[in-house]
């Protein structure tokens, strides 16, 4: 998948252009098996929020 900052830039640009956005987030199988689901989803969500 894409890096969090790249997704955030794309989402911000789409919103600036007046588009409605649905951003899909989630962990990889490796991250899930390592028990990192909450950490990953929090990080991805945080990247999408305005600073």
Domain count, the chain: 1
Q: Give mean pLDDT, residues 29-51.
A: 94
pLDDT for the residue 1: 80
Residue 26 has pLDDT above 90, yes or no: yes
Compute the average pLDDT of residues 43-47.
95
C-alpha span between 28 and 46 (Å, rounded)? 18
* Percentage of residues in the chain having pLDDT higher than 90: 90
Share of the chain above pLDDT 70, in %: 98
How far is CA 20 from each of CA 14, 28, 32, rounded to the nearest angstrom? 7, 26, 29
Q: What is the pTM of this model?
A: 0.81
Instruction: Give the residue numbers spanning the domain of 25.
Output: 4-48
Q: Is residue 51's pLDDT more than 80?
A: no
């Amino acid at each position: 998948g894409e890096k969090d900052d790249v997704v955030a830039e794309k989402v911000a640009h789409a919103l600036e252009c007046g588009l409605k956005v649905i951003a899909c987030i989630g962990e990889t199988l490796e991250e899930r098996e390592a028990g990192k689901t909450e950490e990953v989803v929090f990080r991805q969500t945080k990247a999408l929020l305005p600073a």
